[in-house]
Structure 1
């Protein structure tokens, strides 16, 4: 699902970028208790205007970053922002049908994207598939109470059915095989979670049809 005009404005506003840099980035990095894993290949689902790409590359120290989005405008913006960066690959893709082989990434990040995905449970299963054993899934999400209320419905365009809260997200993660190692939430409105794909779990490695890169 794509962002409406107001949400595009908000996510690009300097105040939003400041909050991401000064507050959200330390919170997400802190999920690892200052013991960041070595990350060679990382994936961001829903790259938006590219701030998450910077966090993954500079904060998590990823060797390469792959980013996907449904919105070609977002992909074009990121392509221009990070032009000629050999460590970045951009693809147009659906979070529920990721065009990557199983066990491809050591890190996958969802920075407030799954609340836009109607079948978010399928997206969780896809993340588990493409993560390598021992890989980390870093999640920052808005929950049902934040998006299924009269004000949010008036201002934004979010799916209103099949939404989730902190506990329901964790239940889905565990049902797909993840171990949850750290999490925090704010009054049931939003939360951050670190989920790990256990070592020793290795799915059949196959190649999906890859969308055209940007």
Structure 2
């Protein structure tokens, strides 16, 4: 699902970038408890205008990054912004049908994108598929109460059916086979989560 005009302005605004860099980035890095694994290949789902790429590169230390989005304008902007960055690949893709082989990435990041995806459960399953065993899924998300209220519905365009809260997101991760290593929430509104794809899959 693509953003409306107002949300594009919010995502691109310098104040939003400052919040991401100064507030959200330290919280997300602390999910790893100062023990960030070596990351050769990272994937960002819903790269927008490219701000999250800086966190993945400079914060998590990813050697190579693939950034996907549905929005052609955002992809074009991001590609131009990082034109001199050979470590970045920008791809148009649907989060529920990622065009990558199984076990490709060491890290996948969702910076407040899955609440835009109608079938977010399918997107989680795709993340699980493309992650290597032992790989990390870093999630920063808005929950049902933040997007399914009169103010948000008037200003933004979000799916209103099949939305999730903190527990439902956790349950969706567990159902796909993830182990939830650490999670924090702003009750009802938003949360951050670190989920790990186990090295060994349980037998049926």
- Give the TM-score, by structure 1 length: 0.93
**2:178 aligned residue:** 178
Unaligned runs of 5+ in 2: none
> Hey, what's the Cα distance between the residues in 2 that align with 1:155 and 1:78?
25
> Hey, what's the Cα distance between the residues in 1 that align with 2:129 and 2:10?
32
Q: What are the superposed Cα offsets for residues 170-194 of structure 1, whole Å, 9 maximum, x if unpaired? A: 0000000000000100021000000
Q: What are the superposed Cα offsets for residues 84-142 of structure 1, whole Å, 9 maximum, x if unpaired? A: 31100010000000000000000000000000000000000000000000000000000
> Would you say 1:79 and 2:79 are equivalent positions?
yes
**2:136 aligned residue:** 136
The ranges of structure 1 where at least 4 consecutive aligned residues each deviate by more than 4 angstroms after the TM superposition are none
> Hey, what's the Cα distance between the residues in 2 that align with 1:165 and 1:198?
24
Aligned residues: 202
**2:95 aligned residue:** 95
Name the SS of the counterpart of 2:29 in structure 1. Answer: helix
> Hey, what's the Cα distance between the residues in 1 that align with 2:186 and 2:7?
21
Name the SS of the counterpart of 2:133 in structure 1. Answer: strand
> Hey, what's the Cα distance between the residues in 2 that align with 1:158 and 1:134?
32
**2:147 aligned residue:** 147
Name the SS of the counterpart of 2:32 in structure 1. Answer: coil
Name the SS of the counterpart of 1:191 in structure 2. Answer: strand
Name the SS of the counterpart of 2:158 in structure 1. Answer: coil
Q: What are the superposed Cα offsets for residues 56-110 of structure 1, whole Å, 9 maximum, x if unpaired? A: 0110000000000000000000011000311000100000000000000000000
Unaligned runs of 5+ in 1: 202-214
**1:63 aligned residue:** 63
> Hey, what's the Cα distance between the residues in 1 that align with 2:4 and 2:21?
23
**2:10 aligned residue:** 10
Aligned pairs for 1:25-36 (under 5 A) are 25-36=25-36
**Greater relative contact order (Cα 8 A, min sep 6): structure 1 or 2?**
1
Shift of 1:14: 1.1
